[in-house]
A and B are shown apart, each in its own frame.
Chain A
Amino acid sequence: MDVFTLKKDSLQDFLSTLSAAYQLWAPLQKDGDTLFEPVLDCRNNLPDLDHQAKIIKHAIFPQTEPLFSYDQNDQIQAPGFGDMKQAVLFGVRPCDARSLTLLDQVFAGDVPDPYYMSRRDKAILIGIACTDPFANCFCTSVGGTPCGREGLDLLCTDLGNRYLVAVLSEKGKEIINKASSLFTAAPAEDIKRGAELAQNAERGIRRHIDLAGVTDTLGKIFEHPVWKKMTLKCIGCGICTYTCPTCYCFDIQDEPMAKKRGRRVRVWDSCMYKEYTLHASGHNPRPTRIERLKNRIYHKFKFNVDTHGAFGCVGCGRCITLCPVNEDIIENLLAVKGAA
């Protein structure tokens, strides 16, 4: 495996090269938040690699996406998928890269979703190692690691005035070749330092839960009173699902437009809303927040395991950090274990 160093002074040039050849996305400061967005100006708006971006999945799975449009004569026009520009996602956290491999299982499936798959196939992921994990990170409890490489094409590790850049795939090699003058072969001491930082990073993870057996436990406690207690705080706002990198539920709606034109769009939806499962008859199989929060935990820690063989959670901690009432999925899972 090839490993290079990239001077931080050269980052702007690297990003400029990328944005000339690809649609470039990166975490950017905007209105006091760090949002993962298309990079429009790599000179004056450098990526913010100090904070956790709100989400990155919208680069592959947009929050609102037209499936097709139609004119006043009902002529349907669907997008072609061939002419889509290749995208480079820069500054992807290892947990977010892993989350895309989980979304792949859903959107590939027996009936592949061409909207997701065509973007995904054309995306190149440049990761940034989490050498200093965030307060609610718990990736190591769900099979990840803060400097993990799964799903990434390149992984950058911050070494002070330079990045150590590990090439992890053919796509990654292609990126290096595009800007080869900026990269030099990494000296042995940098490689050693990168490995040390990765080890320290694991120790920097402050939140842990032993999830061995949790899937089996969930199989036994569907009717347990623990669910009611767990839900007392929840206000059903759905922020946990919108900011979750492994959540993918969506709605499909028709949008009438001017001059009798219109389009059929898909938009993110949330299992935390009552309308999500509400039948036309008025019957609702998940009528209260108790059933809805319970379904979220079951989906991530049992159904996804039963169907795809992995937890539907990468331990990014966003649902904990961003919950307005301090619902905490680790505490929820501890309660599940306690109910066994």
Chain B
Amino acid sequence: MMNPYLPVKATIAEIREETGGARPIKTFKVALQNGNAFNQKPGQCAMVGILRVGESMISIASSPTQQEYLEFSIMKLGKVTSALHSFEGGETITIRGPYGNGFPIAEWKGKNIVTIGGGIGQAPLRPIVQYVLDNRNDFEQFDIIYGARSTGDLCYKTELFELEKRNDLKVHLSIDMADPDWKQFVGFVPNNVLRIKPSPENTIAITCGPPVMIKYVIHNLLELGFSEQQIFTTLENRMKCGIGKCGRCNVGNFYVCKDGPVFNYATLKNLPEF
């Protein structure tokens, strides 16, 4: 019998600072020591651990089209994430997974894609960005809508500023609080969605961010004419096992670790606690 609690070891190859402040975010580039591919789907998660410290479920921020490494964008909050933030690169961590259902991205072939992220919620959307760009001809129009509280809170800045220069996708950035150097939209992400007005015609919208942002983004997408089936989101909850046994990550009778984290809004709207 396979032991699902047994992790593999991985080496932190590179650490990039994304944001500063009281809750800084760093992106950790990680390579499995056994040389195997992790074979994850976009939207899946992994249990990232440090021996003697503990484990945390983290969404995988890189696409499976990048085989050699995994990336995790992690906010410094608890025991495990604080320990990770103290690392300098070269350390060994433990990984198990991948967990969860992932995005049904193969079914989105031939469609327009719009991702709508807020804060660190861009991390689980980033594999979609990479996947779509690596398979650009499979998809039609591609829009990235992303915002954070301030310029200092935007993740993947360099990457997104580079993407802005491309003409095969549109990047719409925003910050909540005005900044004299900021030339783009100032306001909340749901308002930016209303301003940009993505067309619901043949489009899939995927959103992730703080719970309150997700609620208003969905509300606004429905107002723009999106059907429930065209809207996807990815949830998070405290998790320990990753295989639907330890109990805590349930929303209604779904376990976010196993039945999620990706939910179609048509399913999600019926769940009691959402």
Residues of A that sit less than 8 Å from B by CB: 67-68, 70, 74, 76, 78, 81, 106-107, 109-115, 117-118, 222, 248-254, 256, 260, 262, 264, 266, 269, 271, 276-281, 283, 285-286, 291, 295, 298-299, 302-303, 306-307
Contacts and interface: CB of A to CB of B under 8 A. Distances in A.
A280 B77 contact: yes
A74 B238 contact: no
Contacts of B1: 81, 112, 114, 117-118
A306 B255 CA distance: 13
- Most central of B51, B54, B92, B272 by chain A CB within 10 Å: B51
20 contacts: A110-B244, A112-B1, A113-B245, A222-B272, A248-B247, A249-B246, A251-B246, A252-B54, A254-B49, A256-B52, A262-B51, A269-B240, A269-B247, A269-B248, A277-B238, A278-B238, A280-B77, A281-B75, A285-B273, A303-B253
A252 B240 contact: yes
B251 A285 contact: yes
Nearest to A270: B247
Contacts of B73: none
Contact of A254 (B51, B236, B237): B51
Given A250-B240, A279-B238, A106 B6 contact: no
A266 B55 CA distance: 12
A252 B245 contact: no
Contacts of A111: 2, 4, 243-245
Given A253-B54, A285-B273, A279 B248 contact: no
Interface string B228-251: 000000001110110111111011
B99 to A, nearest CB: 10
Contacts of A285: 237, 251, 273
Contacts of B4: 111, 113-114
Interface residues of B, number: 40
Given A76-B6, A113-B4, A114-B1, 17 more contacts: A74-B9, A76-B51, A78-B6, A81-B1, A109-B244, A109-B245, A111-B244, A249-B247, A252-B241, A264-B49, A266-B5, A266-B240, A266-B246, A279-B236, A285-B273, A299-B247, A307-B253
B20 interface: no
Nearest to B253: A303
Nearest to A305: B253
B252 interface: yes
A54 to B, nearest CB: 21
B36 interface: no
Interface of A is mostly: mixed
B3 A276 contact: no
A70 B5 contact: no
A249 B247 CA distance: 5
A117 B3 CA distance: 11
A242 to B, nearest CB: 14
A106 B253 contact: no
Given A78-B6, A252-B240, A283 B211 contact: yes
Contacts of A249: 246-248
B21 interface: no
B53 interface: yes
Given A68-B6, A109-B245, A269-B246, A74 B92 contact: yes
B237 A70 contact: no
Nearest to A275: B238
A74 B5 contact: no
Contact of A299 (B49, B55, B238, B250): B250
B240 A303 contact: no
B78 A254 contact: no
Interface string B8-22: 010000000000000
B207 interface: no
B192 interface: no
A47 B1 CA distance: 35
B21 to A, nearest CB: 14
B62 interface: no
Contact of B5 (A67, A222, A283): A67
Given A114-B2, A250-B241, A262 B78 contact: no
B56 interface: yes
B115 interface: no
Contacts of B50: 254
Nearest to A291: B273
Given A114-B2, A279-B238, A254 B273 contact: no
Contacts of B7: 76
